[in-house]
Structure 1
Amino acid sequence: MEHTVSGSDDRSVRGLIRFYLLDHQTPIGKAIDIALLGLNLLFVGIFVVETYPVGATGRSVLWQLEIGIAFVFAVEYLLRLYGARDRIAEFSNGYTMVDLLSILPTVSVVLLPVSGGIVNIGFLRAIRIVRVLRFYRFTADAEFFFGTVSDNTLRAMKLFLTILVLLFTSAGLFYSVERGSNPGIATFGDAFYYTVVTLSTVGFGDIVPATAAGRWVTVTAILAAIVLIPRQASKILREWTSRERVNVTCPDCGLAYHDPDASHCKACGHVIYQEADSRE
């Protein structure tokens, strides 16, 4: 990632915006990173707290906070599009699409001329869960405001984040479709407990889906866990098992990384030259 502003385009306002939204090293870039991370945590926390009885005053304060944070994220979204070299590519980027989806429910409630509790419409409530996916933007590369991490550490962070996102998203969706129909689901904590117990295959049976939508959410969460978690874990395992190998490329078949004492390519048998100490 570039951390220097170069070229006439990069010295323009548009170039500066692009630079600081991607930068992790300068004080301004670090401040933006920390601020966005803090707001994202608060944004997700608001959704969780709203599922508990907080009173009319507390709910009003949470709603005002949500509107304010959504406005900041909307500005960030527009600035990313404005500063991007290829705006179409930026718009279709997965991280950018998640940014848009995370603020759409709140913006819809503010802008749509509909009275009553539009926030409680199941579709909008379900969409609000995707705001947790914004955390993936912070693992787009190995550079963070606190420094650069190794590839293996980054993979471990993504695995941990995948588990948290899967649990949180599944719990949020399950809460959205089961609330009011399932006596065992009164708060987000109840839904999170059910999700952890279900995906860990413990299955106490004290909470079960009461609706067809709840059963489909459960099935989808289990299938997602089966596919996503082993995939992320396998990347870490491959990295660990290849630590002792030497980055030598076979000139015949192109296979890279061989055992330290290998004299022939294990794929095609071609002779490869490596210096190895027989005393080791």
Structure 2
Amino acid sequence: MDGHRGHRATRTYRDTVRFYLIDHRTTVGKGLDVSLLGLNLLFIGLFVADTYPLSAAQEAALWTAEVVIATVFFLEYLLRVYGARSRVAELTNPYTIVDLLSILPTFAVLAGPALPMWAAGLGALRLLRVVRVLRFFRFTRDEEFFFGTVSLETLRVMKLLMTVVAIFFVSAGLFYEFEHGVNDRVETFGDAFYFTVVTLTTVGFGDITPATQAGRFVTIAAILAGIILIPWQASKIVREWTHRDKRNVTCPNCGLEYHDSDASHCKACGHVIYQEHDSRE
């Protein structure tokens, strides 16, 4: 008991910050997960809503909400870097880089009037808004969720679905940014999303076609990403299914994992692994 108290007493504020940012079991950890998930959904919704005709009052309200959410995510970014055991590793972590890129366009627009030299680059920075959807991959980094623990197979299915959604959303967002104002068939994000779905599913109605060189490049990149990434994620699921009848035991001699349920020797090197098996099965 005293040792437990001593351990808690030695926990620093930095340790506490790191703990709650990765925790999924305590009330505070679950609350943070749900809040960040909800804010990310809203953040993406703001990007989509901004592509539709709005009144001046609605645009002002959406912009205020975007700034508030971006500020919250920036604070989260700072806390993750502050609480990390290795700040260099955290700064170079793909999840952390995506977190920063997703809020960069908002702050660039805020800083634009004060920094005229940035004005020419704001249009390019706005393209980064599409990476907001990639923030969801942070929620699939392990089997622990605020609602409980899922199997590795379920996690891989979630990653596959997230990959499909990300490909469609990012492709549609980039296509919209390049084609809007040039292509009279692409007026909203919905038009761009429709084109992306029809194209990547190989239906190809032909009612919307790219009008810019950048739009054509995005279409090609989206098709290639779909061909490469989706089968890659799907292969992980198939591989997991093929190992459902095997046990995750590692051979201490050669390191081979996943042996037959009744194996007593490693099938690669013959080393005895002493795996227990009920003869009644």
User: Structure 1: where are the runs of 5+ without partners?
Assistant: none
Whether the 8 Å contact between 1:5 and 1:19 is mirrored in structure 2 is no
With normalisation by structure 2, the TM-score equals 0.88
Deviations 1:176-227 (A, max 9, x none): 0000111110000000011111111111111110000000001111111111
Counting matched residue pairs gives: 275
Looking at structure 1, the residues matched to 275 and 25 of structure 2 have their Cα atoms a distance apart, in angstroms, of: 39
Q: Which amino acid aligns with 2:47?
A: F
Q: Which amino acid aligns with 1:183?
A: D
Q: 1:101 to 1:7 in 2, by over 3 A?
A: farther
Q: 1:193 aligns to what?
A: 194
Decide which moves more: 265-274 or 103-112: 265-274
Q: 1:6 to 1:99 in 2, by over 3 A?
A: farther
Structure 1 residue 136: deviation in Å?
0.8
Looking at structure 1, the residues matched to 107 and 47 of structure 2 have their Cα atoms a distance apart, in angstroms, of: 15
Structure 1 residue 244: deviation in Å?
1.3
Q: 2:70 aligns to what?
A: 70
Deviations 1:205-258 (A, max 9, x none): 111100000000011111111111111100000001111124455676543334
Q: 1:5 to 1:133 in 2, by over 3 A?
A: farther
Structure 1 residue 86: deviation in Å?
1.0
Q: 1:262 to 1:25 in 2, by over 3 A?
A: closer
Q: Which amino acid aligns with 1:99?
A: D
Structure 1 residue 88: deviation in Å?
0.9
Looking at structure 2, the residues matched to 130 and 65 of structure 1 have their Cα atoms a distance apart, in angstroms, of: 18
Decide which moves more: 46-55 or 240-249: 240-249
Q: 2:109 aligns to what?
A: 109
Looking at structure 2, the residues matched to 230 and 10 of structure 1 have their Cα atoms a distance apart, in angstroms, of: 47
Q: Secondary structure at the match of 1:11?
A: coil
Whether the 8 Å contact between 2:172 and 2:193 is mirrored in structure 1 is yes
Q: 1:247 to 1:51 in 2, by over 3 A?
A: closer
Identical aligned residues as a percent: 63
Q: 1:146 aligns to what?
A: 147
Looking at structure 2, the residues matched to 76 and 154 of structure 1 have their Cα atoms a distance apart, in angstroms, of: 24
Q: 1:49 aligns to what?
A: 49
Looking at structure 2, the residues matched to 209 and 267 of structure 1 have their Cα atoms a distance apart, in angstroms, of: 54
Looking at structure 2, the residues matched to 228 and 16 of structure 1 have their Cα atoms a distance apart, in angstroms, of: 37
Q: 1:94 aligns to what?
A: 94
Looking at structure 2, the residues matched to 18 and 70 of structure 1 have their Cα atoms a distance apart, in angstroms, of: 21
Whether the 8 Å contact between 1:9 and 1:15 is mirrored in structure 2 is no
Looking at structure 1, the residues matched to 214 and 207 of structure 2 have their Cα atoms a distance apart, in angstroms, of: 19
Looking at structure 2, the residues matched to 11 and 91 of structure 1 have their Cα atoms a distance apart, in angstroms, of: 23
Aligned: 1:124 with 2:125: yes
Whether the 8 Å contact between 2:173 and 2:189 is mirrored in structure 1 is yes
Q: Secondary structure at the match of 2:193?
A: helix
Q: 2:227 aligns to what?
A: 226
Deviations 1:50-107 (A, max 9, x none): 1011211101100000000011111111111111111111111111111110111101
Q: 1:137 aligns to what?
A: 138
Whether the 8 Å contact between 2:105 and 2:122 is mirrored in structure 1 is no
Whether the 8 Å contact between 1:40 and 1:134 is mirrored in structure 2 is yes
Decide which moves more: 43-52 or 248-257: 248-257
Q: Secondary structure at the match of 2:198?
A: helix
Decide which moves more: 129-138 or 6-15: 6-15
Q: Secondary structure at the match of 1:204?
A: coil
Q: Secondary structure at the match of 2:246?
A: coil
Output aligned runs, 1:214-253, within 5 Å: 214-247=215-248, 253=254
Looking at structure 1, the residues matched to 69 and 44 of structure 2 have their Cα atoms a distance apart, in angstroms, of: 11
Aligned: 1:13 with 2:13: yes
Looking at structure 1, the residues matched to 9 and 230 of structure 2 have their Cα atoms a distance apart, in angstroms, of: 41
Q: Secondary structure at the match of 1:203?
A: coil
